[in-house]
Structure 1
Amino acid sequence: MVALSIYSTNNYLNNYSMVPQCTQIDDMLEKYYLAPSYGIEFCIGFPGNLLVVLGYIFCLQEWQSYNIYLFNLAVSDLIFLCTLPRLSYLYANGQSETSPYACISNRYVLHVNLYSSILFMVWLSMDRFLLIRYPTRTHYLQSQRSALIITGLSWLAVNVEVAPMIALMTQDLQNENLSLCKDFASLNGDINPFGYSLGLTMTGYVLPLLGLCGFSYKIAQMLRVQDRALQRRTTSYKRPLRVVRSAAAMFLVLYTPYHLLRNVRIASLQPWAELRLCTKMYIESLYIMSRPLAFLHSVINPVFYFFMGDKFRVLLLSKLRKLVRKPKLRRESTLTISP
Structure 2
Amino acid sequence: MATLNSSSFSNSSAPFRCKFNEDFKYILLPTSYGVVFVIGLLLNAIAMYAMLFRIKQWSPNTIYMINLTVCDTLYILTLPFLIYYYADKNVWPFSESFCKLIRFLFYANLYGSILFLSCISLHRFLGVCHPVRSMHWVSPRRARLVSVAVWVIVLVFQAPVLYFSRTRNAGNDLVCHDTTTEELFNHFLVYSTAISVLFFVIPFLVVLVCNGLMVRKLLEPTAVGGATSQRSKKKSVKMIIIVLLTFMLCFLPFHLTRSLYYCFRHLQVSCGLLEGSSIAYKVTRPLASANSCIDPILYFMAGQGFRRSINRKNKKGYRTEKGKSLSTSL
TM (normalized to structure 1)? 0.76
Aligned counterpart in structure 2 of residue 131 of structure 1, from 127, 130, 151 = 127
1:114: how far off? 1.0
Larger Rg: 1
Q: Which residue matches 2:184?
A: 189
- What is the alpha-carbon distance in structure 2 between the residues aligned to residue 43 and residue 84 of structure 1? 10
Is the partner of 1:96 in helix, strand or coil? coil
1:278: how far off? 4.5
Q: Deviations over 1:92-117 (max 9, x none)?
A: 12222531121111111111111111
Which amino acid in 2 is paired with 1:306? F
The answer to whether the Cα contact below 8 Å between 2:264 and 2:274 also exists between their aligned partners in 1 is yes
Which amino acid in 2 is paired with 1:163? A
Which amino acid in 2 is paired with 1:167? Y
Identity %: 27
Bigger drift between 302-311 and 204-213 goes to 302-311
Q: Which residue matches 1:158?
A: 154
Q: Cα 1:133–1:283, aligned 2, differ >3 Å: closer, same or farther?
A: closer
Which amino acid in 2 is paired with 1:199? A
Q: Cα 1:319–1:234, aligned 2, differ >3 Å: closer, same or farther?
A: closer
Which amino acid in 1 is paired with 2:294? I
Q: Deviations over 1:247-271 (max 9, x none)?
A: 023212221221112122222222x
Q: Deviations over 1:272-323 (max 9, x none)?
A: x2333444333222211110011110011111111123368999xx769xxx
- What is the alpha-carbon distance in structure 2 between the residues aligned to residue 59 and residue 229 of structure 1? 34
The answer to whether the Cα contact below 8 Å between 1:185 and 1:265 also exists between their aligned partners in 2 is no
Which amino acid in 2 is paired with 1:295? S
1:82: how far off? 0.8
- What is the alpha-carbon distance in structure 1 between the residues aligned to residue 169 and residue 28 of structure 2? 29
Aligned counterpart in structure 2 of residue 210 of structure 1, from 176, 199, 205 = 205
Matched, 1:200 2:178: no
1:88: how far off? 0.8
The answer to whether the Cα contact below 8 Å between 1:97 and 1:181 also exists between their aligned partners in 2 is no
- What is the alpha-carbon distance in structure 2 between the residues aligned to residue 135 and residue 268 of structure 1? 47
Q: Cα 1:164–1:82, aligned 2, differ >3 Å: closer, same or farther?
A: same
Q: Deviations over 1:158-205 (max 9, x none)?
A: 123212222222xx44999x9531002766428622222221111111
The answer to whether the Cα contact below 8 Å between 2:168 and 2:176 also exists between their aligned partners in 1 is no
Matched, 1:72 2:67: yes
Bigger drift between 180-189 and 301-310 goes to 180-189
- What is the alpha-carbon distance in structure 2 between the residues aligned to residue 257 and residue 134 of structure 1? 33
Unaligned runs of 5+ in 1: 1-14, 17-21, 321-339
The 5 A counterparts of 1:1-339 are: 23-26=19-22, 28-94=23-89, 95-133=91-129, 135=131, 139-169=135-165, 172-173=166-167, 179-184=174-179, 188-189=183-184, 192-225=187-220, 227=221, 232=226, 235-236=229-230, 237-238=232-233, 239-270=235-266, 273-310=267-304
1:152: how far off? 0.8
Aligned residues: 293
- What is the alpha-carbon distance in structure 1 between the residues aligned to residue 260 and residue 66 of structure 2? 34
The answer to whether the Cα contact below 8 Å between 1:185 and 1:262 also exists between their aligned partners in 2 is no
The answer to whether the Cα contact below 8 Å between 2:122 and 2:210 also exists between their aligned partners in 1 is yes
The answer to whether the Cα contact below 8 Å between 2:254 and 2:288 also exists between their aligned partners in 1 is yes
Output the aligned Cα RMSD: 3.2
- What is the alpha-carbon distance in structure 1 between the residues aligned to residue 300 and residue 184 of structure 2? 44
- What is the alpha-carbon distance in structure 2 between the residues aligned to residue 142 and residue 81 of structure 1? 31
Which amino acid in 1 is paired with 2:106? L
Unaligned runs of 5+ in 2: 5-17, 311-319, 326-330
Q: Cα 1:261–1:92, aligned 2, differ >3 Å: closer, same or farther?
A: same
Q: Deviations over 1:223-266 (max 9, x none)?
A: 345x2665957534513333123202321222122111212222
1:80: how far off? 0.6
Bigger drift between 88-97 and 109-118 goes to 88-97
Q: Cα 1:230–1:188, aligned 2, differ >3 Å: closer, same or farther?
A: farther
- What is the alpha-carbon distance in structure 1 between the residues aligned to residue 181 and residue 195 of structure 2? 16
TM (normalized to structure 2)? 0.78
- What is the alpha-carbon distance in structure 1 between the residues aligned to residue 294 and residue 219 of structure 2? 29
More helix by share: 1
- What is the alpha-carbon distance in structure 1 between the residues aligned to residue 205 and residue 142 of structure 2? 22
Is the partner of 2:56 in helix, strand or coil? coil
The answer to whether the Cα contact below 8 Å between 2:164 and 2:180 also exists between their aligned partners in 1 is no
Which amino acid in 2 is paired with 1:266? Y
Is the partner of 2:157 in helix, strand or coil? helix
